[in-house]
Structure 1
Amino acid sequence: MNLLTLYDTEVRGSLVAPAPGYRVERVGPIVRLVGASPDPNDNAVTLAQLTEADADREIARQIGFFGALGHAFEWKHFSHDQPASLPEKLRAAGFEAQEPETLVALDASQNFADADLGDGIRIEELKNPGALEAIGVVNTAVYGNLRHSEWLVASIAKEKQSDPDAIRIYAAFAGDQPVSVGWVRHKTGDMFGSLWGGSTLKEWRGKGVYSALVAIRAHAARQQGCKWLTVDCSPMSLPILERRGFQRLSTTTPYIWSPKV
Protein backbone atom coordinates (compact mmCIF):
# COMPACT_ATOMS: atom_id res chain seq x y z
CA MET A 1 0.00 0.00 0.00
CA ASN A 2 1.53 3.36 -1.01
CA LEU A 3 1.75 6.40 1.26
CA LEU A 4 -1.18 8.26 -0.30
CA THR A 5 -3.44 5.25 0.12
CA LEU A 6 -2.39 4.95 3.75
CA TYR A 7 -3.05 8.67 4.24
CA ASP A 8 -6.52 8.43 2.70
CA THR A 9 -7.36 5.45 4.90
CA GLU A 10 -6.05 6.70 8.25
CA VAL A 11 -6.46 10.47 8.00
CA ARG A 12 -9.14 11.34 5.47
CA GLY A 13 -11.18 8.23 6.24
CA SER A 14 -10.96 8.55 10.03
CA LEU A 15 -14.31 8.39 11.84
CA VAL A 16 -12.93 9.95 15.04
CA ALA A 17 -14.45 13.35 15.81
CA PRO A 18 -11.84 16.09 16.37
CA ALA A 19 -13.61 17.55 19.44
CA PRO A 20 -16.93 17.55 21.29
CA GLY A 21 -19.73 19.04 19.20
CA TYR A 22 -18.54 17.34 15.99
CA ARG A 23 -19.44 14.02 14.44
CA VAL A 24 -17.79 12.13 11.61
CA GLU A 25 -19.78 9.64 9.59
CA ARG A 26 -19.36 7.45 6.54
CA VAL A 27 -22.31 7.44 4.14
CA GLY A 28 -21.63 5.16 1.20
CA PRO A 29 -18.51 6.44 -0.59
CA ILE A 30 -18.44 9.69 1.45
CA VAL A 31 -16.82 10.53 4.80
CA ARG A 32 -18.08 13.81 6.20
CA LEU A 33 -17.50 16.02 9.23
CA VAL A 34 -20.53 17.71 10.75
CA GLY A 35 -20.12 20.55 13.25
CA ALA A 36 -22.49 22.40 15.52
CA SER A 37 -22.01 25.72 13.71
CA PRO A 38 -22.93 26.57 10.08
CA ASP A 39 -19.37 27.69 9.33
CA PRO A 40 -17.60 25.82 6.49
CA ASN A 41 -14.58 25.42 8.77
CA ASP A 42 -16.74 23.10 10.89
CA ASN A 43 -18.36 21.06 8.12
CA ALA A 44 -16.65 19.12 5.35
CA VAL A 45 -16.48 16.20 2.99
CA THR A 46 -13.09 14.78 3.93
CA LEU A 47 -13.00 11.74 1.64
CA ALA A 48 -14.98 10.88 -1.48
CA GLN A 49 -14.36 7.61 -3.32
CA LEU A 50 -16.36 8.32 -6.45
CA THR A 51 -16.65 7.32 -10.09
CA GLU A 52 -17.77 9.23 -13.15
CA ALA A 53 -21.12 7.45 -12.88
CA ASP A 54 -21.97 8.39 -9.28
CA ALA A 55 -20.14 11.71 -8.69
CA ASP A 56 -22.99 14.09 -9.62
CA ARG A 57 -25.46 12.12 -7.52
CA GLU A 58 -23.22 12.12 -4.45
CA ILE A 59 -22.45 15.84 -4.80
CA ALA A 60 -26.20 16.55 -4.88
CA ARG A 61 -26.75 14.35 -1.81
CA GLN A 62 -24.17 16.25 0.24
CA ILE A 63 -25.59 19.60 -0.84
CA GLY A 64 -29.02 18.34 0.21
CA PHE A 65 -27.73 17.09 3.55
CA PHE A 66 -25.79 20.21 4.59
CA GLY A 67 -28.36 22.52 3.00
CA ALA A 68 -31.11 21.01 5.16
CA LEU A 69 -28.99 21.85 8.22
CA GLY A 70 -28.41 25.39 6.95
CA HIS A 71 -24.66 24.73 6.96
CA ALA A 72 -22.00 25.81 4.51
CA PHE A 73 -19.38 23.12 3.96
CA GLU A 74 -16.00 22.44 2.43
CA TRP A 75 -15.31 19.69 -0.07
CA LYS A 76 -11.59 19.02 0.30
CA HIS A 77 -10.39 17.89 -3.12
CA PHE A 78 -7.02 16.18 -3.61
CA SER A 79 -5.40 16.02 -7.03
CA HIS A 80 -5.31 12.21 -6.92
CA ASP A 81 -9.06 11.98 -6.26
CA GLN A 82 -11.31 10.38 -8.87
CA PRO A 83 -12.98 11.04 -11.17
CA ALA A 84 -10.68 13.53 -12.91
CA SER A 85 -13.73 15.66 -13.73
CA LEU A 86 -14.63 16.16 -10.03
CA PRO A 87 -13.41 19.79 -9.82
CA GLU A 88 -15.57 20.91 -12.74
CA LYS A 89 -18.52 18.97 -11.34
CA LEU A 90 -18.12 20.77 -8.00
CA ARG A 91 -17.97 24.17 -9.70
CA ALA A 92 -21.04 23.33 -11.78
CA ALA A 93 -22.89 22.48 -8.55
CA GLY A 94 -22.17 25.91 -7.07
CA PHE A 95 -18.95 25.33 -5.13
CA GLU A 96 -16.31 28.08 -5.11
CA ALA A 97 -12.66 27.01 -5.34
CA GLN A 98 -10.26 28.46 -2.76
CA GLU A 99 -6.49 28.83 -3.04
CA PRO A 100 -4.78 25.47 -3.69
CA GLU A 101 -2.14 24.12 -1.31
CA THR A 102 0.36 21.26 -1.43
CA LEU A 103 0.22 18.17 0.76
CA VAL A 104 3.77 17.23 1.79
CA ALA A 105 5.06 14.45 4.03
CA LEU A 106 8.21 13.76 6.04
CA ASP A 107 9.52 10.52 7.48
CA ALA A 108 9.32 11.47 11.17
CA SER A 109 12.38 9.40 12.02
CA GLN A 110 14.46 12.05 10.25
CA ASN A 111 16.22 14.00 12.99
CA PHE A 112 17.05 17.41 11.59
CA ALA A 113 18.84 20.13 13.53
CA ASP A 114 16.93 22.92 15.20
CA ALA A 115 16.86 26.23 13.33
CA ASP A 116 18.97 29.08 14.66
CA LEU A 117 16.96 31.84 16.28
CA GLY A 118 18.08 35.38 16.81
CA ASP A 119 18.64 36.91 20.23
CA GLY A 120 15.47 37.66 22.13
CA ILE A 121 13.32 35.03 20.35
CA ARG A 122 11.99 32.15 22.42
CA ILE A 123 9.51 29.37 21.72
CA GLU A 124 7.00 28.31 24.34
CA GLU A 125 4.43 25.54 24.43
CA LEU A 126 0.98 26.97 25.11
CA LYS A 127 -0.86 24.79 27.61
CA ASN A 128 -3.22 27.12 29.47
CA PRO A 129 -6.44 28.34 27.80
CA GLY A 130 -5.52 32.00 28.34
CA ALA A 131 -2.22 31.54 26.52
CA LEU A 132 -4.06 30.53 23.35
CA GLU A 133 -4.91 34.17 22.73
CA ALA A 134 -1.46 34.34 21.09
CA ILE A 135 -3.01 32.42 18.18
CA GLY A 136 -5.68 35.08 17.72
CA VAL A 137 -3.19 37.94 17.98
CA VAL A 138 -0.90 36.53 15.26
CA ASN A 139 -3.64 35.32 12.92
CA THR A 140 -5.55 38.61 13.09
CA ALA A 141 -2.36 40.54 12.34
CA VAL A 142 -1.45 38.25 9.41
CA TYR A 143 -4.88 37.73 7.82
CA GLY A 144 -6.96 40.62 9.16
CA ASN A 145 -9.96 38.40 9.91
CA LEU A 146 -10.95 38.85 13.55
CA ARG A 147 -14.02 36.61 13.27
CA HIS A 148 -12.02 33.68 11.94
CA SER A 149 -9.30 34.23 14.57
CA GLU A 150 -11.89 34.10 17.34
CA TRP A 151 -13.36 30.89 15.90
CA LEU A 152 -9.87 29.37 15.62
CA VAL A 153 -8.93 30.13 19.24
CA ALA A 154 -12.23 28.75 20.55
CA SER A 155 -11.97 25.63 18.37
CA ILE A 156 -8.40 24.83 19.42
CA ALA A 157 -9.21 25.47 23.08
CA LYS A 158 -12.08 22.97 22.87
CA GLU A 159 -9.85 20.45 21.12
CA LYS A 160 -7.08 20.86 23.68
CA GLN A 161 -9.49 20.42 26.58
CA SER A 162 -11.01 17.31 25.00
CA ASP A 163 -7.73 15.48 24.32
CA PRO A 164 -4.70 17.40 25.69
CA ASP A 165 -2.09 14.99 24.35
CA ALA A 166 -3.45 14.91 20.79
CA ILE A 167 -2.64 18.55 20.04
CA ARG A 168 0.42 20.54 21.14
CA ILE A 169 0.54 24.26 20.50
CA TYR A 170 3.60 26.50 20.29
CA ALA A 171 4.31 30.19 19.84
CA ALA A 172 7.47 32.16 19.16
CA PHE A 173 7.82 35.37 21.17
CA ALA A 174 9.92 38.49 20.80
CA GLY A 175 9.75 39.82 24.35
CA ASP A 176 6.06 39.56 25.24
CA GLN A 177 4.93 39.83 21.60
CA PRO A 178 3.84 36.60 19.87
CA VAL A 179 5.32 36.64 16.35
CA SER A 180 4.48 33.15 15.08
CA VAL A 181 2.19 30.29 16.12
CA GLY A 182 1.74 26.65 15.11
CA TRP A 183 0.42 23.37 16.42
CA VAL A 184 0.85 19.67 15.79
CA ARG A 185 -1.91 17.07 15.87
CA HIS A 186 -1.08 13.42 16.55
CA LYS A 187 -3.01 10.74 18.39
CA THR A 188 -0.95 8.03 20.08
CA GLY A 189 -1.01 4.91 17.93
CA ASP A 190 -1.65 6.74 14.66
CA MET A 191 0.88 6.53 11.85
CA PHE A 192 0.33 10.13 10.71
CA GLY A 193 0.67 13.46 12.50
CA SER A 194 0.09 16.89 10.99
CA LEU A 195 1.44 20.41 11.35
CA TRP A 196 -0.95 23.37 11.32
CA GLY A 197 -0.68 27.13 11.57
CA GLY A 198 2.80 28.51 11.14
CA SER A 199 1.49 32.04 10.63
CA THR A 200 4.31 34.55 11.15
CA LEU A 201 4.24 38.33 11.38
CA LYS A 202 5.62 39.87 8.20
CA GLU A 203 8.52 41.62 9.89
CA TRP A 204 9.70 38.32 11.43
CA ARG A 205 9.71 36.21 8.26
CA GLY A 206 13.02 34.99 6.89
CA LYS A 207 14.58 34.86 10.37
CA GLY A 208 14.25 31.12 11.02
CA VAL A 209 11.16 31.42 13.22
CA TYR A 210 8.91 29.26 11.04
CA SER A 211 11.65 26.62 10.65
CA ALA A 212 12.16 26.52 14.40
CA LEU A 213 8.45 25.91 14.95
CA VAL A 214 8.55 23.09 12.39
CA ALA A 215 11.49 21.49 14.21
CA ILE A 216 9.99 21.61 17.69
CA ARG A 217 6.64 20.27 16.50
CA ALA A 218 8.27 17.47 14.53
CA HIS A 219 10.24 16.49 17.63
CA ALA A 220 7.06 16.43 19.73
CA ALA A 221 5.26 14.20 17.22
CA ARG A 222 8.21 11.84 16.95
CA GLN A 223 8.27 11.44 20.74
CA GLN A 224 4.63 10.29 20.57
CA GLY A 225 5.38 7.61 17.98
CA CYS A 226 4.41 9.48 14.81
CA LYS A 227 5.78 7.78 11.65
CA TRP A 228 4.86 10.33 9.00
CA LEU A 229 4.41 14.06 9.45
CA THR A 230 2.23 15.92 6.94
CA VAL A 231 1.55 19.56 6.14
CA ASP A 232 -1.08 21.05 3.84
CA CYS A 233 1.11 24.01 3.01
CA SER A 234 0.95 27.36 1.22
CA PRO A 235 3.30 28.35 -1.63
CA MET A 236 5.24 30.45 0.91
CA SER A 237 5.90 27.51 3.23
CA LEU A 238 6.55 24.90 0.53
CA PRO A 239 10.21 25.71 -0.23
CA ILE A 240 11.07 25.86 3.49
CA LEU A 241 9.50 22.46 4.09
CA GLU A 242 11.14 20.91 1.03
CA ARG A 243 14.52 22.07 2.31
CA ARG A 244 13.66 20.24 5.51
CA GLY A 245 13.10 17.01 3.57
CA PHE A 246 9.32 17.05 3.09
CA GLN A 247 8.16 15.41 -0.16
CA ARG A 248 5.16 16.42 -2.27
CA LEU A 249 2.26 13.94 -2.22
CA SER A 250 -0.72 15.76 -3.71
CA THR A 251 -2.28 19.16 -4.38
CA THR A 252 -5.33 20.11 -2.32
CA THR A 253 -8.08 22.58 -3.14
CA PRO A 254 -10.93 23.49 -0.79
CA TYR A 255 -14.26 23.93 -2.57
CA ILE A 256 -16.85 25.83 -0.53
CA TRP A 257 -20.61 25.52 -0.87
CA SER A 258 -22.87 27.99 0.96
CA PRO A 259 -26.68 28.01 1.28
CA LYS A 260 -28.42 30.69 -0.71
CA VAL A 261 -29.73 33.50 1.50
Structure 2
Amino acid sequence: MSDSPAPLAPGSLAGKTALVTGSSRGIGADTARYLAQAGADVVINYRNKAPRAEKLATELRALGVRVLVVGADLTDPASVSAMFEEVAREFGALDILVLNASGGMESGMAEDYALQLNRDAQIRVLETAQPLLHDGSRVVFVTSHQAHFIRTAPTMPEYEPVALSKRAGEDALRERIPSLTAQGIDFVVVSGDMIEGTITATLLERANPGAISERRGAAGKLYNVSEFAAEVAQAAIDPVPADNTRLVGDISSFSA
Protein backbone atom coordinates (compact mmCIF):
# COMPACT_ATOMS: atom_id res chain seq x y z
CA MET A 1 0.00 0.00 0.00
CA SER A 2 1.27 3.48 -0.84
CA ASP A 3 1.60 6.35 1.62
CA SER A 4 -1.16 8.32 -0.11
CA PRO A 5 -3.78 9.86 2.22
CA ALA A 6 -6.79 7.77 3.17
CA PRO A 7 -9.65 8.58 0.78
CA LEU A 8 -12.41 8.55 3.40
CA ALA A 9 -12.71 10.94 6.31
CA PRO A 10 -11.71 9.43 9.67
CA GLY A 11 -14.81 8.37 11.57
CA SER A 12 -17.08 8.65 8.53
CA LEU A 13 -17.91 4.93 8.77
CA ALA A 14 -17.93 4.60 12.55
CA GLY A 15 -20.57 2.11 13.63
CA LYS A 16 -20.70 0.49 10.18
CA THR A 17 -19.68 -3.05 9.27
CA ALA A 18 -18.14 -3.99 5.92
CA LEU A 19 -17.28 -7.33 4.33
CA VAL A 20 -14.77 -7.39 1.47
CA THR A 21 -14.39 -10.67 -0.42
CA GLY A 22 -10.86 -11.65 -1.36
CA SER A 23 -9.42 -9.13 1.08
CA SER A 24 -6.25 -10.75 2.40
CA ARG A 25 -4.16 -9.08 -0.33
CA GLY A 26 -4.20 -6.67 -3.26
CA ILE A 27 -7.18 -4.44 -4.01
CA GLY A 28 -9.35 -6.20 -1.43
CA ALA A 29 -6.81 -5.69 1.37
CA ASP A 30 -6.34 -2.00 0.60
CA THR A 31 -10.10 -1.51 0.36
CA ALA A 32 -10.50 -3.11 3.79
CA ARG A 33 -7.75 -0.80 5.12
CA TYR A 34 -9.45 2.31 3.81
CA LEU A 35 -12.81 1.27 5.26
CA ALA A 36 -11.22 0.50 8.63
CA GLN A 37 -9.35 3.82 8.61
CA ALA A 38 -12.76 5.47 8.22
CA GLY A 39 -13.95 3.64 11.35
CA ALA A 40 -15.77 0.63 9.91
CA ASP A 41 -15.61 -2.79 11.51
CA VAL A 42 -14.35 -5.16 8.84
CA VAL A 43 -14.77 -8.77 7.79
CA ILE A 44 -11.67 -10.06 5.98
CA ASN A 45 -12.48 -12.95 3.66
CA TYR A 46 -9.79 -15.20 2.19
CA ARG A 47 -9.67 -18.52 0.35
CA ASN A 48 -6.28 -19.66 1.62
CA LYS A 49 -3.21 -18.05 3.21
CA ALA A 50 -4.74 -17.57 6.66
CA PRO A 51 -1.53 -16.07 8.14
CA ARG A 52 -1.64 -13.25 5.58
CA ALA A 53 -5.26 -12.50 6.49
CA GLU A 54 -4.48 -12.56 10.21
CA LYS A 55 -1.54 -10.19 9.70
CA LEU A 56 -3.87 -7.68 8.04
CA ALA A 57 -6.42 -8.16 10.83
CA THR A 58 -3.79 -7.33 13.46
CA GLU A 59 -2.92 -4.16 11.54
CA LEU A 60 -6.55 -3.06 11.32
CA ARG A 61 -7.39 -3.86 14.94
CA ALA A 62 -4.66 -1.40 15.92
CA LEU A 63 -6.92 1.27 14.41
CA GLY A 64 -9.50 0.52 17.10
CA VAL A 65 -12.03 -1.32 14.94
CA ARG A 66 -13.38 -4.85 15.24
CA VAL A 67 -12.11 -7.31 12.65
CA LEU A 68 -13.41 -10.78 11.83
CA VAL A 69 -11.30 -13.09 9.66
CA VAL A 70 -13.23 -15.77 7.80
CA GLY A 71 -11.83 -18.29 5.34
CA ALA A 72 -14.32 -19.30 2.64
CA ASP A 73 -14.23 -20.74 -0.85
CA LEU A 74 -16.83 -18.63 -2.62
CA THR A 75 -17.48 -21.37 -5.19
CA ASP A 76 -18.61 -23.69 -2.36
CA PRO A 77 -22.19 -22.99 -1.15
CA ALA A 78 -21.61 -24.57 2.27
CA SER A 79 -18.48 -22.49 2.80
CA VAL A 80 -20.31 -19.27 1.91
CA SER A 81 -23.21 -20.13 4.23
CA ALA A 82 -20.82 -20.83 7.08
CA MET A 83 -19.07 -17.49 6.50
CA PHE A 84 -22.28 -15.49 6.79
CA GLU A 85 -23.43 -17.46 9.81
CA GLU A 86 -20.21 -16.35 11.49
CA VAL A 87 -20.74 -12.75 10.36
CA ALA A 88 -24.30 -12.82 11.72
CA ARG A 89 -23.09 -14.10 15.09
CA GLU A 90 -20.33 -11.49 15.33
CA PHE A 91 -22.01 -8.39 13.91
CA GLY A 92 -25.70 -9.12 13.29
CA ALA A 93 -25.88 -7.03 10.11
CA LEU A 94 -23.85 -5.69 7.19
CA ASP A 95 -23.75 -2.11 5.95
CA ILE A 96 -21.27 -2.59 3.11
CA LEU A 97 -20.62 -5.66 0.96
CA VAL A 98 -17.73 -5.37 -1.50
CA LEU A 99 -17.71 -8.15 -4.10
CA ASN A 100 -14.02 -7.95 -4.94
CA ALA A 101 -12.86 -11.57 -5.27
CA SER A 102 -12.47 -12.73 -8.86
CA GLY A 103 -10.15 -14.83 -10.99
CA GLY A 104 -10.12 -17.37 -13.75
CA MET A 105 -6.57 -17.32 -15.09
CA GLU A 106 -5.22 -19.69 -12.45
CA SER A 107 -3.78 -22.96 -13.69
CA GLY A 108 -5.16 -26.36 -12.72
CA MET A 109 -8.77 -25.23 -12.30
CA ALA A 110 -11.91 -26.68 -13.89
CA GLU A 111 -12.74 -25.49 -17.40
CA ASP A 112 -15.70 -23.47 -16.15
CA TYR A 113 -13.94 -22.12 -13.05
CA ALA A 114 -14.00 -18.50 -14.28
CA LEU A 115 -17.79 -18.66 -14.65
CA GLN A 116 -18.17 -20.41 -11.30
CA LEU A 117 -16.23 -17.68 -9.51
CA ASN A 118 -17.06 -14.55 -11.47
CA ARG A 119 -20.78 -15.18 -11.98
CA ASP A 120 -22.19 -17.99 -9.86
CA ALA A 121 -20.21 -17.20 -6.70
CA GLN A 122 -21.03 -13.47 -6.90
CA ILE A 123 -24.76 -14.22 -6.95
CA ARG A 124 -24.37 -16.80 -4.20
CA VAL A 125 -22.55 -14.34 -1.94
CA LEU A 126 -25.12 -11.60 -2.54
CA GLU A 127 -28.11 -13.87 -1.97
CA THR A 128 -26.58 -15.35 1.19
CA ALA A 129 -25.70 -11.89 2.48
CA GLN A 130 -29.06 -10.34 1.69
CA PRO A 131 -30.73 -11.21 5.02
CA LEU A 132 -27.95 -9.26 6.77
CA LEU A 133 -28.29 -6.24 4.49
CA HIS A 134 -30.85 -3.55 5.29
CA ASP A 135 -32.25 -0.18 4.29
CA GLY A 136 -29.16 1.97 3.75
CA SER A 137 -26.75 -0.87 3.02
CA ARG A 138 -24.62 -0.84 -0.12
CA VAL A 139 -23.26 -3.55 -2.43
CA VAL A 140 -20.17 -2.75 -4.53
CA PHE A 141 -19.12 -5.04 -7.39
CA VAL A 142 -15.53 -4.68 -8.65
CA THR A 143 -14.79 -5.33 -12.31
CA SER A 144 -12.56 -4.23 -15.17
CA HIS A 145 -13.15 -2.14 -18.29
CA GLN A 146 -12.04 -5.19 -20.28
CA ALA A 147 -15.00 -7.09 -18.82
CA HIS A 148 -17.52 -4.24 -18.52
CA PHE A 149 -17.10 -3.28 -22.20
CA ILE A 150 -16.40 -6.77 -23.59
CA ARG A 151 -19.47 -6.78 -25.83
CA THR A 152 -18.36 -3.66 -27.69
CA ALA A 153 -14.56 -3.63 -27.27
CA PRO A 154 -12.56 -6.86 -27.77
CA THR A 155 -9.85 -7.61 -25.24
CA MET A 156 -6.65 -9.67 -25.45
CA PRO A 157 -7.38 -13.36 -26.15
CA GLU A 158 -5.74 -14.54 -22.93
CA TYR A 159 -8.19 -12.51 -20.88
CA GLU A 160 -11.36 -12.97 -22.93
CA PRO A 161 -12.79 -15.98 -21.01
CA VAL A 162 -12.35 -14.09 -17.72
CA ALA A 163 -13.80 -10.89 -19.20
CA LEU A 164 -16.87 -12.72 -20.49
CA SER A 165 -17.42 -14.44 -17.14
CA LYS A 166 -17.08 -11.18 -15.19
CA ARG A 167 -19.54 -9.46 -17.53
CA ALA A 168 -21.92 -12.38 -16.99
CA GLY A 169 -21.53 -11.83 -13.26
CA GLU A 170 -22.20 -8.12 -13.61
CA ASP A 171 -25.31 -8.77 -15.69
CA ALA A 172 -26.64 -11.31 -13.19
CA LEU A 173 -26.07 -8.89 -10.31
CA ARG A 174 -27.75 -6.04 -12.16
CA GLU A 175 -30.84 -8.22 -12.52
CA ARG A 176 -31.06 -8.07 -8.70
CA ILE A 177 -31.17 -4.27 -8.57
CA PRO A 178 -34.99 -4.06 -8.36
CA SER A 179 -35.13 -6.44 -5.40
CA LEU A 180 -32.23 -4.67 -3.70
CA THR A 181 -33.85 -1.28 -4.27
CA ALA A 182 -37.06 -2.59 -2.72
CA GLN A 183 -35.03 -3.29 0.44
CA GLY A 184 -33.39 0.16 0.31
CA ILE A 185 -30.04 -1.36 -0.67
CA ASP A 186 -27.80 0.53 -3.10
CA PHE A 187 -25.78 -1.25 -5.79
CA VAL A 188 -22.70 0.12 -7.56
CA VAL A 189 -20.37 -1.37 -10.17
CA VAL A 190 -16.79 -0.06 -10.01
CA SER A 191 -14.93 -0.65 -13.27
CA GLY A 192 -11.27 0.10 -13.87
CA ASP A 193 -8.59 -0.60 -16.45
CA MET A 194 -5.82 -3.13 -15.90
CA ILE A 195 -4.38 -2.49 -12.43
CA GLU A 196 -0.62 -2.42 -11.98
CA GLY A 197 0.60 -4.95 -9.43
CA THR A 198 -2.37 -7.34 -9.36
CA ILE A 199 -2.20 -11.09 -9.83
CA THR A 200 -4.28 -10.80 -13.00
CA ALA A 201 -1.84 -8.28 -14.49
CA THR A 202 1.08 -10.54 -13.59
CA LEU A 203 -0.55 -13.59 -15.19
CA LEU A 204 -1.48 -11.61 -18.29
CA GLU A 205 2.06 -10.33 -18.66
CA ARG A 206 3.36 -13.86 -18.33
CA ALA A 207 0.96 -15.13 -21.00
CA ASN A 208 1.39 -12.11 -23.27
CA PRO A 209 4.71 -10.31 -22.60
CA GLY A 210 4.39 -6.57 -23.11
CA ALA A 211 0.59 -6.57 -22.70
CA ILE A 212 0.59 -4.31 -19.63
CA SER A 213 3.03 -1.74 -21.03
CA GLU A 214 1.03 -1.69 -24.27
CA ARG A 215 -2.18 -1.09 -22.34
CA ARG A 216 -0.48 1.59 -20.24
CA GLY A 217 0.61 3.36 -23.41
CA ALA A 218 -2.90 3.26 -24.85
CA ALA A 219 -4.53 4.50 -21.64
CA GLY A 220 -1.90 7.05 -20.68
CA LYS A 221 -2.01 5.80 -17.08
CA LEU A 222 -2.86 2.62 -15.25
CA TYR A 223 -3.97 2.83 -11.63
CA ASN A 224 -1.97 0.92 -9.04
CA VAL A 225 -3.55 -1.27 -6.38
CA SER A 226 -3.91 1.37 -3.66
CA GLU A 227 -5.21 4.01 -6.08
CA PHE A 228 -7.93 1.75 -7.42
CA ALA A 229 -8.81 0.46 -3.95
CA ALA A 230 -9.38 4.09 -2.94
CA GLU A 231 -11.99 4.35 -5.71
CA VAL A 232 -13.67 1.16 -4.51
CA ALA A 233 -13.79 2.45 -0.93
CA GLN A 234 -15.15 5.79 -2.11
CA ALA A 235 -17.88 3.98 -4.04
CA ALA A 236 -19.12 2.61 -0.73
CA ILE A 237 -20.21 6.09 0.40
CA ASP A 238 -20.53 8.38 -2.64
CA PRO A 239 -23.93 9.01 -4.24
CA VAL A 240 -24.88 6.18 -6.59
CA PRO A 241 -23.85 7.25 -10.12
CA ALA A 242 -25.95 7.06 -13.26
CA ASP A 243 -26.57 3.50 -14.42
CA ASN A 244 -25.15 2.31 -11.07
CA THR A 245 -21.68 2.46 -12.66
CA ARG A 246 -18.49 4.16 -11.43
CA LEU A 247 -15.94 4.22 -14.27
CA VAL A 248 -12.37 4.73 -13.06
CA GLY A 249 -9.80 6.23 -15.42
CA ASP A 250 -9.83 6.75 -19.17
CA ILE A 251 -12.41 4.81 -21.19
CA SER A 252 -11.80 6.26 -24.64
CA SER A 253 -10.31 3.00 -25.90
CA PHE A 254 -13.49 1.17 -24.91
CA SER A 255 -16.24 3.61 -25.82
CA ALA A 256 -15.02 4.78 -29.23
Which structure exhibits the higher relative contact order, with contacts defined as CA atoms closer than 8 Å and separated by 6 or more residues?
1
Larger radius of gyration: 1
When you count strand as a share of all residues, which structure comes out higher? 1
When you count helix as a share of all residues, which structure comes out higher? 2
